Amino acid sequence: MSKFAKAKDFKKSKAGVYISLTSTLFGAIGIAKQMKQARFDDDRLRQLDAAVSAAAMATGVALLLRELRRMNDDDILAG
């Protein structure tokens, strides 16, 4: 199996989903900082950008959680 195929399989594994979920949630720190700075500067465009980024992050987290649930449903030993 090539290194590329192994990396592709890792992305579909539970560990890969957990790492993706964690990194996505750490992005919330940057979004919060961006929103705080935009409010301090009273910059409406940056506030809108932060809100859209937060919505995208929330959607990404929801997709990753759905993928994790599907993996657990397919796992016979999980219950």
Here the contacts of 44-50 (C-beta below 8 Å, separation 24 or greater) are none
Contact present, 68 and 19 (Cβ < 8 Å): no
Q: What is the pLDDT of residue 1?
A: 60
Supply the pTM of this predicted model: 0.72
Query: What whole-number percentage of the chain has pLDDT above 90?
Result: 52
Q: What is the pLDDT of residue 77?
A: 56
pLDDT, greater one: 25 or 11: 25
**Distance of alpha carbon 40 from alpha carbon 28, whole angstroms:** 18
**Distance of alpha carbon 42 from alpha carbon 46, whole angstroms:** 9
- Cα-Cα-Cα-Cα dihedral sign, residues 51, 54, 58, 63: positive
Mean pLDDT for the stretch of residues 51-74: 90
pLDDT at 75 over 80: no
The lowest-confidence range among 10-14, 42-46, 65-69 is 10-14
> Which residue blocks in the chain are alpha helix, DSSP H?
3-11, 14-41, 44-74
Q: What is the pLDDT of residue 79?
A: 47
